[in-house]
Amino acid sequence: MVLPLVRWHSSVQEIPEDQWNIMTRCQETPFYKWRWLNAIEQSGSISTNQGWQSCHLALWKGDKPIAFAPLYLKAHSYGEFIFDQSFAHLADELGLNYYPKLIGMSPFSPAQGYRFFFLPGEDQASLTRLMFQAIDAFAIENRILSCNFLYVDYDWAKEAEKEGCAKWINHNSLWLADGKKDFSEYISSFNANQRRNIKKERKAIQKAGLKVTALSGTQLDLNIMHAMHRFYEQHCSRWGVWGSKYLFEDFFERLLDQQLRDNVVLFSAHRGNPNSPIAMSLCVTDGKKLWGRYWGSHEEIPFLHFEVCYYSPIHWALDNNIHSFDPGAGGSHKLRRGFCLQPQVSVHRWYDERLDLLIRSWLNKVNVLKFNEIKAVNADLPFQIANPSLPSIG
C-alpha cells in the first residue's frame, strides 16, 4: 500500500476549492467554507504580523487531496476564546516556550464543528491516525510544545481521544427553539418576573423610536458592510487592548461574495431607513442554525444590545425555522434571556512529558466540575427547557 503524501500549506488557496467543498460536504457550518477561510487570509486579518500563520495539513494522492485539517501556528492566545494562559504560565514555570503553538479552528469563530475532513470513500480511521502522526512529527521537529483543536465536533472528539488527545470541557451559551412556533411562545416560556423584564426591555427600544430590520443576501451591499465594520471597530475600541479587534474591513467586503452573502444576516436598528442604522449586529446562518458574532452602536440606548443581539435574532430564527442560536462568547446575562449552557469541547496534545502529565491530571478533575456546573446552571434558569439533557461527550 502506497501511503498518501503529507503536505503543509500556507494558504487555503493551495488546496483546490472544488476538492475542499467535496471533503466538507458533511460540514454545514459556514466557518469552514473555503471562501470563508480564504476571506480571512486574503483580507490580512490573519498574518504573521497578526500572530497567525496558516499551516494547513493535507494528504495527497497524486494531484488530488484526500484529507485535510485547517491549522494555524499562533504566537499568542488571542482570537480563540478558549483561555489557556494558565497553560502558558505553567510552561514558563517549567522553563518551556509555550509559543508558537499549533491551533485547529476557524479563526475568531467560537463555533462547534472542527474535525478532519476526508474525500468520500477513503479510510477515515487510518487517515486520521496518519494525520496525527504527521502533526506530531511536525511539532517535534519544529519544537512546538502543543497542538490544540478547539470547538470540535462531539463525535470527532472521541476519535481524537482514541489517538491520544486530552479533552477539555468549557461551555457556551445556546438558544434552542424546542418546538416553539413564534416569539410569543418564546416569551411565554419564562417565569412571570423575567417575562415582564423582557417586555420592558423591548418596549424601551420602541420608545426610542427604533425598529430592527434583518438584512441578508442581495439586500447587502458595500455601504452596509462598511457600516458593519465601523460598528465592529467602534465597539472593539471601547475595550482598549482587550477589544478583540481582529478583522479588517476587507474581510467584511468579502462577505458579499455570492457564496457567502446568504450566510450573513445583519440586524439593523434604525429610525426609518435600515441602510442608515444607529446600531447593528452581524450574525451567520447555515439555514438551520444561527451564530451571533459582532455588534456596535452609535448611541447609548438602554437594552439596545439585548434587542439587536438576542431578541431580534431569536424572532428571526423562529420566523425562519432555525432550531438553534449560538450568540457568541461570554456574557452571563444571556442566561436570563433564553439561553442555556452547553458543553464546548477542545482536545489537546502536549509534547513535553512534564507539561502533559500536569495538565492531564488537572483536566481529570476540572472537567467533572465544569460538567456539574453546566447542569447546575441549567437547572436554575428562569424559563422552561423542553430538552434540558446534555449531549454525551464521554
| Neighbour-count burial of 206, counting CB atoms closer than 10 A to its CB (0-12 exposed, 13-18 middle, 19+ buried) | exposed
The mean pLDDT of the chain is 94
pLDDT value, residue 147: 98
Task: Specify the pLDDT at position 214.
Answer: 98
Res 330: pLDDT: 74
pLDDT tens across 197-243, in order? 999 999 999 999 999 999 999 999 999 999 999 999 998 887 665 55
Q: What angle do CA 277, 278, 280 make, to 5 degrees?
A: 65
257-281 pLDDT per residue, tens: 999 999 999 999 999 999 999 999 9
What whole-number percentage of the chain has pLDDT above 90?
Answer: 90
- Kind of pairing, strands 64-69 and 146-149? unpaired
pTM of the complete model: 0.95
pLDDT in tens, 150-191: 999 999 999 999 999 999 999 999 999 999 999 999 999 999
Domains and CATH numbers, the chain: 5-171+343-378 (3.40.630.30), 178-322 (3.40.630.30)
In the block, residue with C-alpha cell 476526508: 118
Q: Which residues contact 208 (CB under 8 A, 6 or more apart)?
A: 301, 304
